[in-house]
Amino acid sequence: MTHEATVHEAQTKILRELLFQKDANFVELCKVSDLENDHAKFHIKRLVELGYLDKISGRYSLSVKGKEYANKLDTDTNTIERQPKLTTIMIVQNPKTGKFIIQERLKNPYYGFMTFYSGKVQWGESVYETAVRETLEETGLNTNASDWQWRGVYHERVRHSDNNEIVEDKIFCIFYTDKFSGDLVTDFEGGKNYWLDLDEVRSNPKHYKSFEIEARAATEFIGLIESIDEYGVDDF
């Protein structure tokens, strides 16, 4: 998995300028950057090295990678906009016992909380592929993409009670299956897996506030649900 490089403020100004025109020469970009020639030259060269700019016949333009990155800019503030994370929630039920895979989270934030396991969608990956990959990684079980049933979308925003700020913004695609093979891995770095009834999770004081929404998806299609959940410093 790749991560975007940190972009300097002057580089952000250059990228923003090129959002609104096909290309520009060095003098034009130097003026936009508000830097002396040598400093501007350094930052323009850096953008080329990062793959954000193409240089053809002395003129600079946004590369495909640069267009994708610059398109995230809030052009009023010259900052990259924060965007919700796309994640999947996997609900796996044992058809013989009726119990579900429930994961106890043993890392921060939400240390000790219990719910269905989840995983982030990787770049270029379908949400069904995420369900298969994350299930193997998190539980050791094998599943097929065609066996996962899509049960809806849950958009959760988490507000910290100490300052009322939104500290998390996640969009969950929820999937259900009772078809799998292999043996459940119970212990792994960052958590433990259990086969539990839903009431056993409810009886644990450290279950997520979103659990009832997720539990509904264990038996029915929930469509789209949005909520704001509040957690304090002892939880988050």
Do 146 and 104 lie in one domain? The reply is yes
Domain-embedded: residue 3: no
Q: What is the pLDDT of residue 1?
A: 43
Q: What is the pLDDT of residue 236?
A: 67
Beta strands in the chain (DSSP E): 24-25, 53-56, 59-62, 73-74, 79-80, 85-92, 100-105, 114-115, 117-120, 149-160, 166-177, 187-188, 191-196, 224-231
Range of weakest confidence among 20-34, 66-80, 186-200, 211-225? 66-80
Count of domains observed in the chain: 2
**Final residue of a domain: which of 25, 48, 80?**
80
Q: pLDDT per residue over 5-23, tens digit each?
A: 678 889 989 998 898 899 9
CATH code for the domain of 95: 3.90.79.10
Mean pLDDT of 52-76: 87
Mean pLDDT of 78-96: 89
Identify the top-confidence range among 17-26, 172-181, 183-192: 172-181
Q: Can you give the pTM of this predicted structure?
A: 0.77
Containing structural domain, residue 59: 9-80
Domain-embedded: residue 4: no
Share of the chain above pLDDT 70, in %: 97
Angstrom distances, CA of residue 148 to CA of 18, 61, 142 = 43, 43, 12
Assess whether pLDDT exceeds 60 at residue 208: yes
Do 65 and 121 lie in one domain? The reply is no
Share of the chain above pLDDT 90, in %: 69
Mean pLDDT of 150-154: 98
Do 119 and 53 lie in one domain? The reply is no
Q: Are 112 and 106 in contact (CB under 8 A)?
A: yes
Assess whether pLDDT exceeds 90 at residue 49: yes
Domain-embedded: residue 181: yes
**Final residue of a domain: which of 27, 54, 80?**
80
Of 12, 108, 105, the residue nearest 66 (C-alpha): 12
CATH code for the domain of 37: 1.10.10.10
